[in-house]
Every structure is written in C-alpha cells, then in structure tokens.
Structure 1
C-alpha cells in the first residue's frame, strides 16, 4: 500500500537526517539529546534523538520523494503522486479521529483544536551513535567505615624551676654576699606567663583622606577669568565701537583678521590736480563768438562748459585775457569699469554671508582672504546695490550652522541666508 510505503522510508531515513518533510502535511525535526541518569529508575540512558513535528514545513524539499524514487525504482513524478495520495488519506483519517502510526517510533494525531501533533516512543532510540547501547542499572556501593585505634599518650610530670630572689638591704659594710636560693619541685605544673600585648594602633586608610581646597582660593580663582576679560574685551575687540561681540572674541589664542577696505573709486579720486589742463589754455584756442565748448579734462573725459555774458574774447582773444564763466555743477562723465558678472547660484541652498560691500573690489578682497583659510568663498549676488560675499554654501541648514561654529574659531563671522 502507498501508506505503508511512506512509513517504510520515514522509519528508515529519519535516523540519518535531522529534517524530513512530508509535502502538504509537515516535517519531522530531530535534535540530539545527551546521556542522562534517571534517579527514579536508577538507570543511565545513552544519547538519543528527540523528534518534533512542525506543520509549518509544507514545501517540498524533494528528499522524501527521492528516497521513494531510488528505493522503488519509479519516476520522481510517481513518487510525488504517492505522497499526495497518502497525505489525502491521512487527512481523512484525522477527521475521523484516528491516528497514524509511524512505524515503532511514534504516531501522528489531531487534537480537538485541530492541531496535528506527534508523540514519540522513547523506548526506540533513533540516534545512530547509540546503536547497541541499552540502559544501565546503577547499583549502590557499600561504604565501609575504617576505624583506626588512637595511640595512647602517656603524660609525664614536668618539673618547674621557680626562681626567688631576695632583696638585699643596703648596709655600710658587707662581709659576705648573700646567694639566692633555688627551690626545685616536681609536683607543680609549668605555668607560662604571656607577655602583655600592647594596644593595637588604628591606621587610617589612605583612601578616606580627602584633600579639600580652601574656599577662599576657589573664590579667588573664579575672579581670574572675569578680570582677564574685563581687560581683553575693551582692548582687543571692537565691542566699544560696534556694540557687537562674537564668540570668537572670547578666544585669546585666535587673532581676528582685520578687514581691509579700498576707498570708493570716483572720477576725482582717480585723477590728480597736476593732471588737469588749465582752463586758460583752452580759452586761448577758442575762436571769437564761441558760447560753449568741451573742456578736455583728460584723454577720455570731456566736460561741457557754457560761457555767459559778453566776453572780450569775442573781439580780441589775443590781447585781452578772458575769464570764462564755468558752470559750477558740471556733468562728470565717469569711466565705465568693466566688471565681471557674478556667477549665478542655485536656489534652495543655505549660505553664510560674511559681508556686503558697495565696491566689488572690497568684496573680492574678502573672498580672497576667506579662500586663504580653506573655505569655498564666492560673491553670491548683488542685492540692492551691495555685493553679498558667501563664505560657503550648503544644502541643509544644519550643515550651515555646524560650519558657522567652525568658522568662528578661524575669525570668520556671518549670518545664514536661505537663497
């Protein structure tokens, strides 16, 4: 029968495998149990294998089907068909309240709650290493008490020498010396006087001693930082000028970088007085009747000048020196400086703004000084006529806050801008 065929290979192969699965029903799992002593029976039992049945092992691992295929000489598909038919018969038997005997080592049954359980017959040892070993009965050992006779001890009296010494009175004339008398007695026991023990000295454990600093020294030490910074802040920082103080100002070991600024370039600052051409030289070259002319300030700059009133220059410019009337507020044509456009920066980033300048040259100087300290500084943009200098840019605000604290130690201060 197919039922007996599966039981045959289960009983044979379960001894040599720790896991054997019946597809669609469950799997047997074996574990090693060491030898033990049963005190109630008074026997020693050899090592064995304990089996449990797990219904969660439903997938076919092919092990049982291969055993049937090789043993019966059939195909693998036929072996799987035999297993499926046998499991269907067993499930029907469980519904009828029957149990399935798995050879001699136990049986499978279904509880009232619908759980499939396995009961193992402990009388059958499935462990291959214990083949031929049986339980051994432990016999009690008799303990014989050996009594050895005690040796007889004979005590002999010991004589004691008692020395008595008489005090000799002091006399002016002694003719004979008195000799001390020693009496010997054998009837008395020897008595030994123990020397008096001196009082024990109590030594204090060194761990119990505590060194305490006097309170006045602690108070005096706390005033040292206060006195130092009361001198340091007014003398070494710009707190009195700006009214602002930074964390880096409290570090006496960091030298703050002094900002260097270039003056704003204008037309008048770029030219000296000796570079100007006198007005009289231009008037001498004018033709009579000229009302307006362009005053050449330098090679690239011309100032329009209007002559007001009757000028003697119209009649004879060579004889009379004409004093031209010059407009007090001439229109100054400044040189246009080619400025490098600011590189665009991606939105959604956070920047540490180290300064804002109206002159691009000052912004470039600050960028160079920050880059010299190892930071990726750049001119962020031009906002409301001011060039904003970014010491470094970050993707998150937390990274910007962390970097700003490090920059303060290098003497770089700034505020965070979400761009």
Structure 2
C-alpha cells in the first residue's frame, strides 16, 4: 500500500497534511496568472510547499487511512512508518517521486529538496480548468505587409486622378446616400412594428394571467404528502481520557481504551500542542453527560467533557 494517494486526497480538503517523522505538505492558494513570454494563461491553484520541521503526528493522515482501509489506527501508523522508512532509504541514493504530489532529492547538507508537481491542481474551485495559450497579436508584422502591398500597387491616386473624378463614382455616391436614407426609414418602420408587437404580447400575457388567477383547480385523487426527515449526525461532545505531550503516550492510551471496549479516538492537537484522547464521542449532550458520570465512577475521576463546534 502506498500512502501517496491518501495524502493527495487530503490536500484537496486541508491546507496542511503532516506525514509523521517525515514532514508536512503545506498548500497556499494563488490567483490566476499569465506568462507574457509564452502567452500562457493559468487558472487559480494551490501551490504546494514542504516543511521538514512539521513531523509531529496530528492524527489526520493516520485516521484517514484507518477509515478508508477499515483498519485500526495503530495499523495505519505502521503503514505510514514503513513507507517513510522506504522513502528515507531511497533518498540516500536517488530521487524519489511521490505520485501526484512531487519529487524529493537530498542535498549535500542532508536536507530535503522538494519539487511540486505541476500536473495536479488541488484547488477544488478550479477543478477541470487547464492552462491555455493565446497567440500574441502581431501588429508590426501586419503593418509591414500593408506597406509592401502599397509599394507594389499604390492605393492613393495620382494628382491628375484627384482633379478628375469619374462620373460613375459620383452616381455611385449619390445612390449610396439614397440607399442609406431608405435603410434608415425602413429601420424606423421596423422599430415601430416591433414596439406594437411588444404591446400586443403584454396584453395577451395579462389576459392569460388573469384567467389563471380566476381558475379553480380540483384534483380528485391528490397524491399523499411525503415527509423526509434527514438528520446529520455531528459528534460534538467528547469524553476526554487525557492529553499528552508525546504522541507515543497518546497512542498507548488509545490502545488501552480500545482493549477495554471503548470507541476511543485521537482527536488531534489542542491549542497547547497536546494530543487529546477520548473515551467516546456523542452527538447528544444528555447522552454524553450520562456516559461521563458512569466513566467517572468506573474508570477515572479525571475524565471531563469537551464540546467542539463544527
């Protein structure tokens, strides 16, 4: 199993995805841009960067893999650690490619050099949009062609031709003026006819609306009313078993609770950078309080209720 697919999935929804013991992929939204040299237009996108200092496990990737593969959280961590070890081993000798994300190399100082892929746009609002090239308008080239044509066959008449205007040109000019006047008169006539049609259409529309308002519709066998009750479950109430500075201690606590039969979870980091572990989570405040009282009596008096608004 490769974890690149799961990292890619999460990058569409989150701005930061951390791979434990390796680093974090951070995305920043950038607006549309144009390359004036290649005349290429690019849609808005997310620009990927890599931060090797973001190594602490926040539970996001492991929880997603566990849910997608229907395996335990600890098994998901084992898969991530195995993949990371494989990456680190390969980087000692060669460049590695993380599918749809980018490539890594190791410099002389032992630091990771990340080159993001340009084929994937993680900005969902730009889904389906691709770059395109619009050729530049070559005004100077066209001017040069016109100048060449004028040299071969001059467009401007000579001085002698300016003094004598042929009779057929005069007649043609007069005919053009008469035709223009006739065209203007016909356009005015069309405008009047169009306005008359609009007025008539509005009158007919008003009659139809009046008839609809006065009509009474009776359905002998009406269809029964269908009521759909859709409820979205959101687990906002969490009974906290503890918060740990070291992620390894949080994972040990999680396994202890799972072995006891609790539907325990790692909730990620709080604002003090402590990893929180819950006994159970509820979408009902009353159920959460009742369960908390039981846990306080049977498991730990230090258990408390965390309320998260999503």
Which TM-score band (shorter chain)? 0.3 to 0.5
Structure-1-length-normalised TM-score: 0.32
Structure-2-length-normalised TM-score: 0.43
Name the structure, 1 or 2, with higher relative contact order (CA <8 Å, separation 6+).
2
Higher normalized helix content (fraction of residues):
2
